[in-house]
Amino acid sequence: MRFQDNWSTATLVSTRDLAPGIREFILRPDNHVCAPYAVGSHLKLSVLVGGQPDVRSYSLVGEAEPQGYRIAVRLAEDSRGGSRYLWSLQPGARVDVTSPTSLLQVDWQRPQYCLVAGGIGITPLLGAAQALMRKGADVSLHYAVRSRRDAAYVEELSTLLGERLTVYAADESRRLDLAQLFSGLSGGATVLLCGPMRMLDAARSAWSGCGRAPTDLSYETFGSSGRLAAEPFKVRLRGSREEIIVPRDRSMLDVLNAAGHEVMADCRRGECGVCAIDVVEVEGEIDHRDVFFSAEQKHENRKLCTCVSRAHGVVTVDTLERTDA
């Protein structure tokens, strides 16, 4: 990785189960300083996956608090191992963390803000809701979950937002209709959305269907959510006989780097595009899991973000590494 992160050690102060399969972790950095951070900030954490050091990125929940950094982690069945590792930690455990960083640019001058969360996608939006309420903005939050018992932070959000919060629980037959929601927003409104890939695709389509500017829809996702189930796939490198297997529990980025093919990375969440490499040929199907490329670019399959995207079958890529002649 060529981008410089500012790492320090932190202590896991406490954990709290928020909903089945969702646990909150409070991490206090050794310098005890949790300086204010930007809305949409993430933290990278060092984890051990299969005994090997690895890095995961998590959204910070809420605005900065003196007791430490707050993250919430869903124990994913299809996890590559990061969530399992974190769930194995007990208070007092020591972990390496980076300083918070954010790629999200919020325009604070908008007449209306619509926040949309799907499942664990609520985590970055709690801080956004707090900041917008503090500024007296016209804000509403629409939170879609399978069931109310799966919804984290509902009490805290309800206290903060009152009637500006709407929970859509599928098992109560209450579904979020994005086209209807977006068509009711005022001109100049902006949407911040975080949810699984299917929700993002639906939102982009509903947003453009309402004739809104693409730049007024900001979103992020979680790298584990794709259209296809995670399964091992093969990577061939252009101009080489080498074939590399990407196991179901590792990213293409990590596997390429471990095999000595340096691929740059930064966010590791499919947001910045730094890890994108050229696709030469696909025998099978690419499962683009990033939010960096547009739907058209994903359809063209000319590039993929190696930190989150996967494939079924075989992908031939060009990492643009060149050996000196």
Residues forming contacts to ligand FES in the complex (CB under 6 A) are 265-268, 270-275, 290, 292, 305, 307
| Closest separation in Å from C-beta 79 to ligand FES | 18
| Closest separation in Å from C-beta 71 to ligand FES | 18
Q: How far apart are CA 250 and CA 77, in angstroms?
A: 14
Bridge-based pairing state of the strands 113-118 and 190-194: parallel
Smaller CB separation from ligand FES, 141 or 274:
274
Phi, psi (deg, nearest 5) at residue 104: -85, 130
Complete edge-to-edge strand list for the sheet that includes strand 139-145 = 165-169, 139-145, 113-118, 190-194, 217-220
Beta carbons within 10 angstroms of residue 320's beta carbon:
10
Find out whether 71 and 42 touch, Cβ atoms under 8 Å. Answer: no
E-assigned strands of 113-164?
A: 113-118, 139-145
Smaller CB separation from ligand FES, 21 or 273:
273
Instruction: Report CA dihedral (214, 223, 151, 41) to the nearest 10 degrees.
Output: -70
| Closest separation in Å from C-beta 24 to ligand FES | 25
| Closest separation in Å from C-beta 172 to ligand FES | 36
Residue type for position 142 = H
Smaller CB separation from ligand FES, 71 or 305:
305
Smaller CB separation from ligand FES, 6 or 88:
6
| Closest separation in Å from C-beta 165 to ligand FES | 31
| Closest separation in Å from C-beta 276 to ligand FES | 7
Q: How far apart are CA 253 and CA 235, in angstroms?
A: 11
